[in-house]
A and B are shown apart, each in its own frame.
Chain A
Amino acid sequence: MSVSPTVPSTTPQRGWYKRNEIAITPWLFLLPAMLFFAVYVIIPIGQSFWISFHQWDGLGDKTWVGTANYERLLGIGEQNIDRKFEVSFWNNLRWLILYLLAIPAGLFIALFLNQTVFGIRLYKSLFFFPFVISQVVVGLVFSWFYLPNVGLFDVITGWFGIDVRGGILGNPSTATYGIIAAGLWPQTAYCMILYLTGLNAVDPEQVEAARLDGAKGRKMLWYVILPQLKPATFIAFVVTIIGALRSFDLISVMTNGGPFGSTRVLSFYMFEESLSEFGFRMGYGAAIAVVLFFIMLGFIVYFLWSMYQDEKGAH
């Protein structure tokens, strides 16, 4: 939209703002949001990078240490890799992979509930229920569910003669999986609701046409339904990856990183290093955060690239 060139005299001179209204208005509207976002999100990312090259207790002066934090973390040079970091990293990977199970599980439940029988709306909302509850409460609920000997989980597995020593959360080899299972509960509910919405929009004519061609069951799902659910799958993928890498609440509430530090993930380890009784090692914590940031960045770039393709397609 071009601003008309100023025609001398005849019409009374309009104000500078009036003449440039279309150009200026968007920036005025953007200003508050950009200001907040810059101060609390964009600038802190840069600051974290900066802090990660220092040794800092959060109060006194920062001491420049170059890449020493990263060398210690990754075990470059003489030293061994930080064991806690290693454990956290592998746990993050477990979270990432196992959390993706929420997508097929959510699809399965959505298919199960995509009917029109009496009361189905209420069923759908109740199945979605776990997602609305805070992760802290989910964590508490599951830690009671997993209680050794008296917890419902132990009681039920006991019927089949399975006994996990120390309970699921007390045993270093099962604790992480127990927490991931707790996390999958709300996440599956989320994926379910995405797929229910997606299924609602599936083109009935295509389904009927495929039916006439003799497609049914799994073949129909794979070749006719799933392609139409692609947007839902994309969003389910995005929120599940983000959720997996953000896992903190559940670990903090259920095991606090234990037993023997076996359930730490990067986000939790970072918090522990920077703000816990072990002291305020902000520099080292920031270095962990930077590593986590780069892991996430790979996904963010992929998400944005997909969205960019969509944007281009829309114009």
Chain B
Amino acid sequence: MFPTPIEKRPRSAQITYQAFLPVALILWLLPLLAVALFSIKPDADFTNGNYWGVPSSFEAFTNYGKVFFESNMPRYLLNSLFITIPTVIGAVALSCMAGFALGVYKFKGNLLIFFIFIAGNFVPFQILMVPVRDLTVSMNLYDTKLGLVLFHVAFQTGFCTLFMRNFIRALPFPLIEAARVEGVAEWRIFLYVVLPLMKPALAALAVLIFTFIWNDYFWAVVLTQGPDAQPVTAGITEFNSQFRAAYHLMSAGSIVAALPPVAMFFLMQKHFIAGLTLGAVK
């Protein structure tokens, strides 16, 4: 193990390390802690210039109450949910099948198609922006959740296919051969042999895509406007103009907007990290 395990170091080094850990963490998360502090302060603190001191009163319930009951925030949150969940299902379903095709079969153009999926995943969003917006408008899907979902599914399929294909490649191939010898139809092999083995990959991809899509801002701005369809990342700017310079409310709003992916991460940590670090180890 590198660096040398701290247990093998002198006692003094161990104590220094243990004491320094929380300090380092607080420094690292300082901007976030500041926002958390802002969100429980009363309005008066900001007018009095008490930005960073102890809150003069604890106003978390009032502030978060306002976010939930006196703004469009709940709507934006729901929109985000209705955009994110279908995208996760769609992208994972499409890429499962594509990954199966690319991972199991040998055919001409296999590697080329695979590389097109990877390359497409890296292109700058801006080169897609004008035509995709145009397409969405012409399908009458501008400013709808469906319009965003369709694009997200398509774009995320690139990354997901890369992920799935590599995962399927690592599965034991004799299993598939054996099923073929038994005369099992190919689509049944996918459904009953491969799919059950892909559960960890499915979980990892689902949490990753959830986070990516929830946090998307660019496409939300390009393809939607207004509280009918906008997700929370775009809605937060509208929320902020409603409460201009009301830092206690803006920070409460930001925390609410950031929370779902954070919760997802802590609940599914193992899968999340497995997905994110795919390929980091040979």
Q: Residues of A at under 8 Å CB distance from B?
A: 1, 21-23, 25-27, 29-30, 32-34, 36-37, 39-45, 47-48, 51, 58, 111-112, 114-117, 123, 125-130, 132-137, 140-142, 144-145, 147, 150-152, 155, 185, 190, 193-195, 197-202, 204, 207, 216, 220-221, 224-225, 231-232, 235, 242, 245-246, 248-249, 252-253, 266-267, 270-271, 274-275, 282, 285-286, 288-290, 292-293, 296, 299-300, 303-304, 307-308, 311
Do B131 and A33 have beta carbons less than 8 Å apart?
no
Q: Residues of B at under 8 Å CB distance from A?
A: 1-7, 14, 17-18, 21, 24-25, 28-32, 34-35, 38, 49, 51-52, 94-95, 97-98, 100-102, 104-107, 110-111, 113, 115-120, 122-135, 150-151, 153-155, 157-158, 161, 185-187, 190, 211, 214-215, 217-218, 221-222, 233, 236-237, 240, 247, 250-251, 254-255, 257-258, 261-262, 264-266, 269, 273, 276-277, 279-282
Which of A44, A141, A293, A304 meets B254, CB within 8 Å?
A141
Which of A142, A195, A274, A308 meets B129, CB within 8 Å?
A274
Extra A-B contacts (8), CB below 8 Å, given A26-B102, A193-B277, A194-B276: A33-B157, A36-B94, A144-B35, A232-B277, A253-B217, A293-B123, A296-B122, A296-B123
Do B186 and A40 have beta carbons less than 8 Å apart?
no
Contacts A29-B97, A134-B258 given: A127-B218 contact, CB under 8 Å?
no
Which of A27, A204, A285, A304 meets B130, CB within 8 Å?
A285
Do A199 and B2 have beta carbons less than 8 Å apart?
yes
Do B31 and A185 have beta carbons less than 8 Å apart?
yes
Residue of A nearest to B250 (CB): A140
Looking at the assembled complex, report how far the CB atom of B151 sits from the nearest CB atom of chain A, in whole angstroms. 5
Do B127 and A231 have beta carbons less than 8 Å apart?
no
**Which residues on B sit within 8 Å (CB–CB) of A137?**
236, 254-255, 257-258
A207 to B1 alpha-carbon distance, docked (Å): 7
Can you give 30 contacting A-B residue pairs, CB < 8 Å?
A: A23-B107, A29-B190, A30-B98, A30-B101, A33-B98, A36-B157, A40-B128, A40-B132, A42-B120, A44-B128, A47-B134, A48-B129, A51-B130, A51-B131, A111-B2, A117-B17, A133-B215, A133-B258, A134-B214, A136-B236, A155-B52, A231-B279, A235-B277, A248-B125, A249-B218, A270-B126, A289-B127, A292-B124, A293-B124, A293-B126
